[in-house]
Amino acid sequence: MAGATSDSPASAYRERNSTADRALDILGLFDDRRTTLSATDVAAAFGVARSTAYRYLQTLIAGGFVEEDPAGGFRLGLRVFELARLARRSYGLSEIALPLLRELSATTGETALLTRRSGDRVVCLERVESDAAQVRLSYERGTVQAVNAGASAWVLLAWEQPDVIARLLESTSLTKYTETTLTGPDEILQRLARVREDGFAVSWGELDPDAVGIAAPVHAADGSVAAGISIVTVQRRAEGVVDDLVSAVRRTAEQISVRFALSAE
């Protein structure tokens, strides 16, 4: 049987697949430190000609995923923001959690977060900031962090099955953000056991040196942990009031858990 010619359907299918795969790889190049890319950046990252890199970028531009930055280069397009909004909505948690997150933030005067675990990363789905908070955080809506640092990470992982935790610790590169970040498997397992026993987590300077995180799990109807609720403050404001903050966070997490379970019926 004769092989497919360069303009045959089979060849065209392979080319479309190749371009789509590379387009996804390009989106993965964007991060907090690199919010714009040039065709030269893309060419260097994938070892292709600049003209080829530009063709990949044009595919993303056509779909609205990337747009030209007036200052030069290419930045993420509006279609990415729309997909992020739909992703948060698809979890079914944001609509339930947001009113209670706002109440928690107003009551405590601190920034409140809704987070969820995706593989070996913790994703911030929602963030409500109090006018009084004024805290610079690693967590912003849509950002991802490692699974081994911060109160949110601990409550999202603590109730997982032991084999899931073991696989994550074996396969994940554990980032050390500050001097207090845990990266040793044994110390992480001990910390997770303590969080399960307490029913909440408190972290001191694990992601940001001066930040204190307090988190509690949101449970689904089957008892699994669907998300985490947390507040983030600074050490000088947390001293002497941690117990009160823990109570407020746990109460909010329980309220969201009840409403989330009812929404699934």
**pLDDT tens digits along 168-185:** 888 888 888 899 999 899
Q: What is the pLDDT of residues 34-66, one digit of tens each?
A: 889 998 999 998 888 888 888 888 889 888 889
Question: What mean pLDDT is predicted for residues 99-112?
Answer: 93
Where is average pLDDT lowest: 130-134, 190-194, 216-220? Answer: 130-134
Residue 59: CB atoms within 10 Å: 16
- Shared domain for 234 and 130, answered yes or no, is yes
What pLDDT, on the 0 to 100 scale, is given for residue 141? 61
Q: Quick one: pLDDT band at residue 142, thresholds 50, 70, 90?
A: low
Query: Whole domain around residue 243: which residue ranges?
Result: 89-263
CA atoms within 13 A on the CB side of 110: 27
Q: What's the number of domains the chain is made of?
A: 2
Quick count: other Cβ atoms within 10 Å of Cβ 170? 8
The residue out of 81, 105, 126 marking a domain boundary is: 81
Beta-strand pair 201-204/211-219:
antiparallel
Q: What contacts 24+ positions apart, CB below 8 Å, involve 236-241?
A: 237/110, 238/212
pLDDT in tens, 194-208: 999 999 999 998 988
- Residue finishing a domain among 81, 99, 125: 81
- Give 213's strand partners: 203, 232
Domain final position from 60, 81, 102: 81
Q: Which amino acid is at 224?
A: S
Indicate if the pLDDT at residue 214 is higher than 90. Answer: yes
Helix axes 185-198, 162-171, angle to 10 degrees: 150
pLDDT at residue 244 greater than cutoff 90: yes
**What's residue 155's pLDDT?**
96
DSSP assignments along 219-260, one per residue:
E-TTS-EEEEEEEEEEHHHHTTTHHHHHHHHHHHHHHHHHHH
Across the chain, the runs of DSSP E, i.e. the strands, are 36-37, 66-68, 74-76, 111-118, 121-128, 144-146, 201-204, 211-219, 225-234
